[in-house]
Amino acid sequence: MGITPATRDPRRRAISELLWGGAVAGKTADLAAAAAEQLIALVDELCQDGPAVLVVDELQWADSTTVAVWSRLARSARQRPLLLIGLLRPVPRRDDLRSLFRIVGPGERLRLRPLAEPAALELVTALAGGKPGVELERLAAGAAGNPLYLTELVDALTRSSCLEVDTAGNVELTGSATPDSLPEAIADRLDFLSEAARTVLRAAALLGDGFSVEDLVTVTNSSLAVLLPALDEARAAGVLVAAGDDLAFRHPLIRQALYDEMPTAVRVAWHQSAAWALAEASAPVERVARQLLPMVSTTDSRVPVPAWAVRWLLDVATPLIGQAPAVAVALLRRAVRDTPLGDAVTGALAGRLADAYYRDGNVAQAERIACRALDHVRDPDVLVDLHTTVALCRGLTGRSAESLAVLGEAVAQPGLEARHRARLLVLIARTHRDLGEFDNAARVATEALTELGAAEDRWATGWALHVLSMVAMTRGEWTEALPLFERAIPIARGDPALVDLTLLLRINQSITFGALDRSDDALAAAGRARELADRMGSLMRLTQVQSALGQLLLAAGRWDDALAEVDVLADERKDPSVVCCDHGVAAIIHFHRGETAAAQRHLDLAAPHAERIGDWVVESLVRARSLAFEHDGAPERALEVLTDVLTGEDAREELLADAVRLAVATGDRAAAEEIEARVREIAAASPVPHRRALGMYCRGLLDGDAAELLRAAEGYRAAGRPLSEATALEAAAVALAEAPDGDRGPARDAFTGAIEPYSGLDAHWDVARLRARFRPFGIRRGPTVKHRQVTQGWDSLTPTEVRIAALVVEGLSNPQIAGRLYLSPRTVGTHISHILTKLGVHSRIDIAREAARHQSTTD
Report whether 369 contacts 338 (CB < 8 A): no
Looking at the fold, whether 569 and 610 belong to one and the same domain comes out as: yes
Query: What is d(CA 76, CA 619) in angstroms, rounded to the nearest whole number?
Result: 79
Whether residue 654 is predicted with pLDDT greater than 70 in this model: the reply is yes
pLDDT in the model for residue 138? 75
Number of domains in the chain: 6
Query: What is d(CA 9, CA 25) in angstroms, rounded to the nearest whole number?
Result: 19
**Strand locations in 179-291, DSSP E?**
210-211, 240-243, 246-249
Query: What is d(CA 162, CA 174) in angstroms, rounded to the nearest whole number?
Result: 5
Residue 95: burial class (beta carbons within 10 Å; 0-12, 13-18, 19+):
exposed
Q: Does any domain span residue 737?
A: yes
Count of CB atoms within 10 A of residue 105's CB?
8
Pairing between strand 163-165 and 210-211? unpaired
With CA atoms as reference, report the closest residue to 452 among 423, 410, 422.
Answer: 422
Looking at the fold, whether 689 and 609 belong to one and the same domain comes out as: yes
Q: Does any domain span residue 377?
A: yes
Q: Does any domain span residue 64?
A: yes
HEC string of 208-219? CCEECHHHHHHH
Query: Which region among 98-102, 395-399, 437-441, 814-818 has the lowest average model confidence (pLDDT)?
Result: 98-102
Looking at the fold, whether 180 and 203 belong to one and the same domain comes out as: no
Report whether 610 contacts 580 (CB < 8 A): yes
Alpha carbons within 13 angstroms on the beta-carbon side of residue 565 total 31
Q: Does any domain span residue 770?
A: yes
Q: Give every CB contact of residue 152 below 8 A, 6+ residues apart in sequence.
A: 182, 185, 186, 189
Q: Does any domain span residue 411?
A: no
Looking at the fold, whether 158 and 198 belong to one and the same domain comes out as: no
Confidence category of residue 156, pLDDT binned at 50, 70, 90: confident
Query: What is d(CA 551, CA 555) in angstroms, rounded to the nearest whole number?
Result: 6
Q: Does any domain span residue 683?
A: yes
| CA 500 to mean position of chain CA atoms | 20
Domain boundary at 362, 378, 397, which? 397
Looking at the fold, whether 762 and 683 belong to one and the same domain comes out as: yes
Amino acid at 790: V
| CA 802 to mean position of chain CA atoms | 21
Amino acid at 822: Y
Mean pLDDT of 832-849: 81
**How much is the mean pLDDT over the chain?**
82
pLDDT in the model for residue 27? 45
Q: Give every CB contact of residue 727 below 8 A, 6+ residues apart in sequence.
A: 657, 661, 697, 754
Query: What is d(CA 312, CA 305) in angstroms, rounded to the nearest whole number?
Result: 11
Confidence category of residue 539, pLDDT binned at 50, 70, 90: confident
Report whether 679 contacts 660 (CB < 8 A): yes
Query: Which region among 181-195, 328-342, 512-526, 593-607 has the lowest average model confidence (pLDDT)?
Result: 181-195
Report whether 256 contacts 183 (CB < 8 A): yes
Looking at the fold, whether 730 and 623 belong to one and the same domain comes out as: yes
Question: Looking at residue 207, which CATH number applies to its domain?
Answer: 1.10.10.10
Looking at the fold, whether 19 and 71 belong to one and the same domain comes out as: yes
Whether residue 763 is predicted with pLDDT greater than 70 in this model: the reply is yes
Q: Does any domain span residue 194?
A: yes
Find the domain containing 257 and state its range. Answer: 190-262
Looking at the fold, whether 320 and 355 belong to one and the same domain comes out as: yes
Task: Write the pLDDT tens digit of every residue in 656-675.
Answer: 999 999 999 999 999 999 98
Looking at the fold, whether 628 and 744 belong to one and the same domain comes out as: yes
Query: What is d(CA 173, CA 35) in angstroms, rounded to the nearest whole number?
Result: 51
Residue 640: burial class (beta carbons within 10 Å; 0-12, 13-18, 19+):
middle
Question: Looking at residue 359, which CATH number applies to its domain?
Answer: 1.25.40
Looking at the fold, whether 594 and 704 belong to one and the same domain comes out as: yes
Looking at the fold, whether 303 and 367 belong to one and the same domain comes out as: yes
Confidence category of residue 179, pLDDT binned at 50, 70, 90: low
Count of CB atoms within 10 A of residue 47's CB?
17
Q: Does any domain span residue 32?
A: yes
Question: Buried (b) or exposed (e) across 720-733, using 16+ Cβ within 10 A?
Answer: bbbbbbbbbbbbbb
Query: What is d(CA 1, CA 266) in angstroms, rounded to the nearest whole number?
Result: 42
Task: Write the pLDDT tens digit of every residue in 34-84.
Answer: 777 777 777 877 887 788 888 887 777 677 777 777 777 777 777 778 888
Domain boundary at 749, 777, 805, which? 777
Looking at the fold, whether 633 and 725 belong to one and the same domain comes out as: yes
Alpha carbons within 13 angstroms on the beta-carbon side of residue 706 total 18
Domain boundary at 777, 803, 838, which? 777
Report whether 646 contacts 659 (CB < 8 A): yes
